[in-house]
Chain A
């Protein structure tokens, strides 16, 4: 900090993401978990998670996501939910639906959970179960019905890529039939496993344009019954997304082993040492740690971001994307047309429609041991 300037005021971490585990019965090839997840062993125990919930709440966190991996694999999930409710969080369970039955859905409700988001891989069982790497579709349908029967608001999430992008309309029909309150049509964010599989998953520009038009048509059609959120495919855009609303601004992610991160994939960035909740309080981590201050605010920026009038809107985009394409996370997100490296993104996006089919590398322990070194 420069002498004479008022100290940069750190805003509260309003959104806490508790990644309870990397264990997951599914093998989705676009998983946001790190490629090297199989190396991570020691998960935080219940007492440490309860402390994390209390400390984050005291800092101002009010939205809480229980995620993973598959959070249902944690047998203490109900204990954590009950404490979250007592502390005043709005708690969200982000799940594949695998690992619960009608009784557990009711137990989650009784514990005080506010909302359940179920992911689908496709609108029908063959493609869904192929992408999930396991039989899941029929159970997901049944769990969606149980979620509604228990009075939860329900979000259905569809991660979109080349293999299912033409099912947008079918996704919305399925969601409507199941009584969803919200639908997330989220184009794959190419980090972690999705980056490894980018050539197999990236849709063509024509597919993206058609998907966007279909999504907007569905938003109109279902306006009275459910909210449809469409997350754009940013490789095809001219401006970057406001990733996590700015580094260390509102979003705090705790990985299964207790590592505190400003976003899911920040652990892959070089030269940063992320603090662990086992060794420090969340207040120290959020306010004072070098890692959380590294890209906070605007002082770290270079051109073209530094003098850009839009920097308050997109915060220079995504640090992980800057690293993946340019090798340096301090650069502008190359999705931005103002970035000198923008052509790398355009080239990848343009090639997507013209490349032969690539094999998909599924997210499982075996592949995690093979591909942990990527990206370099």
Chain B
């Protein structure tokens, strides 16, 4: 599998469901008999993986949400790193 780049387009794997859970105050990822409770940033990243936007656009959008982060370095690397993990877990697919 080729590494993800800022030009890649990713989407949630169709057999997973991402939803906001008020009781847990978090986004969760639901799949057969399982659930992952996502931390705030992971949730914000996955909600943007809609199969229509490039990773670069997602990073730019997150930059507006977390203006204190240095987009050129940390945010970009963090988002790509998390997306690789998510893809390895089967949560994300490239389009």
> Among A59, A60, A88, A92, which residue has its beta carbon within 8 angstroms of that of B33?
A92
Q: Contact at A92–B32, with CB atoms within 8 Å? A: yes
Residue B45 lies at the interface, judged by CB distance under 8 Å to chain A: no
Q: Contact at A181–B19, with CB atoms within 8 Å? A: no
Q: Mark A148-188, 1 if CB is under 8 A from B, else 0.
A: 00000101000000000000000000000000011000000
Q: Contact at A115–B35, with CB atoms within 8 Å? A: no
Chain A residue at smallest Cβ distance from B37: A14
| Given known A90-B17, A90-B30, contact A60–B35 (CB-CB < 8 A) | no
Q: Roughly how many angstroms separate A65 CA and B34 CA in the complex, as a whole number?
A: 11
Q: Roughly how many angstroms separate A63 CA and B32 CA in the complex, as a whole number?
A: 9
Q: Roughly how many angstroms separate A153 CA and B16 CA in the complex, as a whole number?
A: 9
- How many residues of A are in contact with the other chain, CB < 8 A? 18
- Tell me the total A-B contact number using a CB cutoff of 8 A: 42
Residue A114 lies at the interface, judged by CB distance under 8 Å to chain B: yes
**Which of chain A's residues have a CB closer than 8 A to the CB of B30?**
62-63, 90, 114
Of the candidates A60, A90, A92, A155, the one having the most CB atoms from chain B within 10 angstroms of its own CB is: A90
Residue B73 lies at the interface, judged by CB distance under 8 Å to chain A: no
> Among B15, B23, B33, B90, which residue has its beta carbon within 8 angstroms of that of A63?
B33
Chain A residue at smallest Cβ distance from B21: A62
Chain A residue at smallest Cβ distance from B20: A88
Residue B66 lies at the interface, judged by CB distance under 8 Å to chain A: no
**Which of chain A's residues have a CB closer than 8 A to the CB of B19?**
62, 88
Q: Contact at B21–A115, with CB atoms within 8 Å? A: no
| Given known A60-B23, A153-B15, contact A65–B35 (CB-CB < 8 A) | no
Q: Contact at B28–A115, with CB atoms within 8 Å? A: no
Q: Mark B6-38, 1 if CB is under 8 A from A, else 0.
A: 000000000101010101100010111111000
**Which of chain A's residues have a CB closer than 8 A to the CB of B24?**
12, 60
Which bracket fits the contact residues of B?
A: 10 to 19
Q: Contact at A60–B21, with CB atoms within 8 Å? A: yes
Q: Roughly how many angstroms separate A59 CA and B28 CA in the complex, as a whole number?
A: 16
Q: Roughly how many angstroms separate A59 CA and B24 CA in the complex, as a whole number?
A: 10
Q: Contact at A182–B32, with CB atoms within 8 Å? A: yes
Q: Roughly how many angstroms separate A71 CA and B24 CA in the complex, as a whole number?
A: 29
Minimum CB–CB distance from A87 to chain B (whole Å) comes to 11
Q: Roughly how many angstroms separate A90 CA and B21 CA in the complex, as a whole number?
A: 12
Residue A117 lies at the interface, judged by CB distance under 8 Å to chain B: yes
**Which of chain B's residues have a CB closer than 8 A to the CB of A63?**
30, 33-35
Q: Roughly how many angstroms separate A117 CA and B32 CA in the complex, as a whole number?
A: 8
Leading 5 A-B pairs by shortest Cβ distance: A60-B23, A90-B30, A153-B15, A115-B32, A155-B32
A-B contact sample (8 more), CB < 8 A, given A59-B23, A62-B35, A63-B34: A12-B23, A60-B23, A60-B24, A63-B35, A88-B19, A115-B31, A153-B15, A155-B32
